[in-house]
Chains A and B, each alone.
Chain A
Amino acid sequence: MEIESARLIAKGMAILAMVGTAAGEGYIIGKAMEAIGRNPDVGDSLFTKMIVGVAMCESTAIYAFVAFFLM
C-alpha cells in the first residue's frame, strides 16, 4: 500500500471522532433540556453551563481535527 493511501484512510478514521462527540453533545443537551423542563426557573443559568459543557465535549473533536491536519 502506498503511503498516500494509508494517510487518506487514517484521515477518514480520524473523522470517526465525530460519532462520539455528537453523541456526547446530544446527551448533554438532552439532559439539560430535561432539567429545564422540570424546573424552568434555572433555565438561564443552566444554559450557559450547558454551553460550557458542550464546548468541553467538543474538545475531543478538536483533537481529532488537529490529528486530521497532522496526518
Chain B
Amino acid sequence: MEGLLAILSKVGFDWQVAFANLVNFLIIFFILKHLAFKPLQKVIEKRKSEIQAGLDDTALAKTNLLTAEQKKEEILMIARQEANDIIAKAKETGDSLVVKKTEEAQLEYNKIITDGKKKSQKEFERMEREVRGQAASLIVASVEKILNEDLDEKQDKKLRERALDMMRQ
C-alpha cells in the first residue's frame, strides 16, 4: 500500500486534496440534482403532457369538425330534398290549377257563347214575330183599304181570317 501511494504521489496524489475534491464534487452533484435535474425534468414532463393534451384536443376538434361537416351535409341534403319536394308539389298544384282554370274558362266561354246564341235567337224570333204581325196587319190594312168599298162586313171578316191563317202557316 505504501508503495502504491508512493507511485501515485509521483503524479501528484494527495489523499487530503482528493478527499476535498470528492466532497466538492458531491456538493456540485447535490446542487445539480436538486436545482437543475429535478426541476428540469418536471418542466419537461409537464410540457410533454401539455403537448400531448394539445394534440389530443386537436384530434378531438378534428373529429368534431368532421362529424359537424357530415351533419351539415346531411341537413343540407334533407333541406334540398324538401325544397325539391315543395317545388314539385307547387308545380303540380300550379299545373292542376291552370288546367282547372282553363276548364272553367272554357266552360264560361261556352256558356257565354250559348247564352249569346240563345239570346240572339230569341231576339230574332221576337223580331220575326213582330215583323210578321206588323206585316199581316199592314197587308190586312192595305187589303182592307182596297176592298173597303165593295165588301160587306161578312166577307170582310172571312177574308181577314183567311189571310191570318195563311200567314200562320
Contacts and interface: CB of A to CB of B under 8 A. Distances in A.
Contacts of B11: 66, 69
Main SS at interface, chain B: helix
Nearest to A71: B10
Interface size class of chain B, counting residues whose CB lies under 8 Å from the partner chain: under 10
A9 interface: no
A70 B7 CA distance: 7
Interface residues of A, number: 3
Nearest to B6: A70
Contacts of A69: 10-11
Contacts of A66: 11
Contacts of B7: 70
B141 to A, nearest CB: 142
B96 to A, nearest CB: 79
Interface string B1-18: 000000100110000000
Interface string A5-18: 00000000000000
Contacts of B10: 69-70
A70 B10 CA distance: 6
Nearest to B8: A66
A57 B10 CA distance: 24
A35 B105 CA distance: 101
Contacts of A70: 7, 10
Nearest to B11: A69
Interface in B1-41: 7, 10-11
A39 B10 CA distance: 46
B54 to A, nearest CB: 29
5 contacts: A66-B11, A69-B10, A69-B11, A70-B7, A70-B10
